[in-house]
A and B are shown apart, each in its own frame.
Chain A
Amino acid sequence: MAERLLEVNDLNVRFATEDGTVRAVDGISFGLERGKVLGIVGESGSGKSVTAMTLMGLTRGVNARFEGEVLYKGKDLLQVSDTEMQNYRGNELGMIFQDPMTSLNPVYRIGEQIVEAIRAHENVDKRTARARTIELLRQVGIPNPEVRADDFPHQFSGGMRQRAMIAMALSCNPSILISDEPTTALDVTIQAQIVELISRLKDDFNSAVIFITHDLGVIAEIADEIIVMYAGRVVERGSKRDVFYDPQMPYTWGLLGSIPRLDRPRPERLHTIEGMPPSLINPPQGCKFRPRCPHAFEKCKEEPPLENRVGTPGHLDRCWLDVEFKRGHRDETISGGSVAAA
């Protein structure tokens, strides 16, 4: 069994705001092993970015309240001091952000920014740090890195900036790479390059990856295990095959059915999930997805626990519906009947 790097137990993140307490992350648990990719999917506001930023210690603030544990190699990151956290950040956990345009400093050269990141964590001289920077840029596929290291961010294209961000995140050889929507701002052709790069680097650097996205297509390519989040909670969790081929949560069906897919005949109409995601200040009683769920019934007013109902080990969901009923009914949502017709 591979080394278990990260263990998140019943993590809660709440923010006090003028309007009330926002329960951004509401009791989520997962584990991560070396060499694996964990995909987190969900819509905006489902708490996936807050989860990632909490792992990095970036949500600490006067209005934030945390509960639960984030165990990194056995040490609870929620308990360490801010200064201690700085040693974990970068050294042990690296992060790539969504927008490569705003996460690089426009007035410093790319190389300088990576050198600075290296020297912040390791006691090396400038020349060594620079040599490593150039090597990193080469590894992430920047052509002519000796010269391009002296470019400013605006001289890089979107894809190259994201590559530079990845180089910076990897500069101190972290064990876990957290990528928060790393390809969302990029074109499909560049997205394909970056996805390939991340999965190659994961093997080269022998690290684990948390890959956050709203794009189920990208997840299907890169993830080993998948977490589906809704309104701050995990609503389904399982291996990639479980989630794609035996999805148990009507929300997951809805997500799968909403995508106009190239691998299937064009449906007359796309499936839609009616309504909008609920407020995180006053979430609905019981199952959070109940107001939008076409299959909701009386029992859904009670909160379903996240547990194994299918029998496949490791496949958990939060849905009261009968497993066989779900297997019979989900296809009309996922493929809009087009498969039946074909």
Chain B
Amino acid sequence: MTALDQASESGETPLLEVRHVKKYFPIRQGVFQREVARVHAVDDVSFTVREGETLGLVGESGCGKSTLGRTIVRLLEPTDGEIIFQGTNISHFKTRRMRPLRREMQMVFQDPYASLNPRKRVGTIVSDPMKIHNLGSRSEQKRRVGEILETVGLSPEHYNRFPHEFSGGQRQRIGIARSLALRPKLIIADEPVSALDVSIQSQMLNLLDDLQNELHLTYVFIAHDLGVVRHVSDRIAVMYLGKIVELSPADELYTRPIMPYTEALLSAVPIPDPDLAEKRERIVLEGDVPSPITPPTGCRFHPRCRYATDVCKQLEPPLADYGNGHLAACHHPLNVDEATLQRVEVAQQHTPAAADESALPQDTSGRSNPAVAPTPDTHSG
């Protein structure tokens, strides 16, 4: 039994399971377009999403969070690993087999200016998904569009307008309306509010919250703003250079970050309170995120980490369970008491000293990762 299994077992069958997903982009050069290097955009990521919950994905630009989102809805095909949606492995489905599943999972994009076709009317934009999936007659579709527009806070009279007649916030509502047209179960929202002003942003966050309650939606919410992510998420995964480095219940991540990267990220968020801002200790991370083409050895965060030691340069820390569904990958965990630390260390000794111990029992092939092997049930108590 490994950390991730335990985390996923607390609920019933998860809606979405991501197992060791990797997405590499080849860099080709020369006449024969030989592959000379790879961008390790998403590198062995595993997590589950339960029905009705919101999983937040945070990280700096280039950490692979958008690529991961696009891979989950299969706009991209994973290089390796499995994406299991409602019990079906959809990792390598072709377009035609994916189509019926697209009704169940939809995406909301970041830029409300670029993600709506300027030549189509709002009604067409929102009803197109229904036409593609042959849902209902023309008049039913039209009625449904009116309903959806009302749900997202627009009015049915907007049916015949063009996107340019709307403000940024309203356009994002249209984007959300389109994603709701097929009554999906899962919505991947990729930075849905980061292009909006704060007052409009809070309207949108409240709307997403209402929709979740009314329509029993499940969200994967991708954002770089830690305040926004905490507000919407039940659980949060922090990504760094293609890997999940910490996964935790939302509030706990902020009160008790284990991974130094999370700590630094939190301390960098500006707080709109001058006195607190002055008192607060600020960890300024030196330098930029390293290149995902040649990620650092060992822990990928070690070149910027103030706690890094030799072990961090050599060994990649496994994603270990610190209890209460709080996972982190670090050799020098913060905010952890002795007892938990010992339990985690014992658990790790029983697993192969490997790059990643989060193997799932059924994954015995070990195709690309020699370290992946069935792990003994070590911490059932």
Interface of B is mostly: helix
Residues of B within 8 A of A261 (CB): 227, 271-272
Interface size of B by Cβ–Cβ distance < 8 Å?
A: 43
Residues of B within 8 A of A190 (CB): 60, 288
Contact with A along B51-67 (1 / 0, CB 8 A): 00000000011000000
Assess whether B272 is in contact with A244, with CB atoms less than 8 Å apart. yes
A-binding segment of B29-37, B197-205, B338-346, B359-367? B197-205
Assess whether A214 is in contact with B270, with CB atoms less than 8 Å apart. no
A228 within 8 A of B: no
- With A159-B288, A218-B270 known to touch, is A276 a contact of B227 (CB < 8 Å)? no
Assess whether A254 is in contact with B276, with CB atoms less than 8 Å apart. no
Assess whether A189 is in contact with B271, with CB atoms less than 8 Å apart. no
Residues of B within 8 A of A266 (CB): 230-231, 250-251
Assess whether A44 is in contact with B270, with CB atoms less than 8 Å apart. no
Of listed A44, A244, A272, residue having the most chain B CB within 10 A: A272
- With A240-B274, A263-B276 known to touch, is A269 a contact of B206 (CB < 8 Å)? yes
Pick the contact of A217 from B202, B269, B284, B288 — CB < 8 Å? B269
Assess whether A215 is in contact with B288, with CB atoms less than 8 Å apart. no
Residues of B within 8 A of A244 (CB): 272-274
Contact with B along A203-236 (1 / 0, CB 8 A): 0000000000011111111000000000000000
B314 within 8 A of A: no
Of listed B168, B201, B271, residue having the most chain A CB within 10 A: B271
A-binding segment of B87-95, B260-268, B348-356? B260-268
- With A190-B288, A220-B277, A269-B209 known to touch, is A255 a contact of B199 (CB < 8 Å)? yes
B254 within 8 A of A: yes
A259 within 8 A of B: yes
- With A259-B272, A266-B231, A269-B206 known to touch, is A160 a contact of B288 (CB < 8 Å)? yes
Interface of A is mostly: helix
Residues of B within 8 A of A263 (CB): 271, 273, 276
Residues of A within 8 A of B230 (CB): 260, 262, 266
- With A191-B270, A244-B272, A259-B227 known to touch, is A254 a contact of B251 (CB < 8 Å)? no
Assess whether A270 is in contact with B206, with CB atoms less than 8 Å apart. yes
Query: What is the total of A-B residue contacts with beta carbons within 8 Å?
Result: 124
Within 8 A of B (CB), among A252-287: 254-263, 266-267, 269-274, 276
Assess whether A221 is in contact with B270, with CB atoms less than 8 Å apart. yes
- With A189-B265, A262-B230 known to touch, is A220 a contact of B202 (CB < 8 Å)? no
Residues of A within 8 A of B268 (CB): 188-189, 191-192
A122 within 8 A of B: no
A261 to B282, CA, bound (A): 17
Contact sample, A vs B, 23 pairs, CB 8 Å cutoff:
A43-B198, A44-B168, A143-B287, A157-B289, A158-B61, A188-B60, A188-B225, A188-B269, A188-B270, A190-B288, A217-B270, A220-B271, A244-B273, A256-B272, A259-B202, A259-B227, A259-B272, A269-B206, A270-B205, A270-B206, A272-B202, A272-B203, A274-B203
Supplied contacts A191-B268, A262-B254, 15 more A-B pairs, CB within 8 Å = A188-B225, A189-B264, A189-B265, A189-B285, A190-B288, A214-B197, A220-B273, A244-B273, A255-B198, A256-B272, A260-B228, A261-B272, A263-B276, A271-B202, A273-B199
Which residues of A pack against B, CB within 8 Å?
43-44, 143, 157-160, 187-193, 195-196, 214-221, 240-241, 244-245, 254-263, 266-267, 269-274, 276
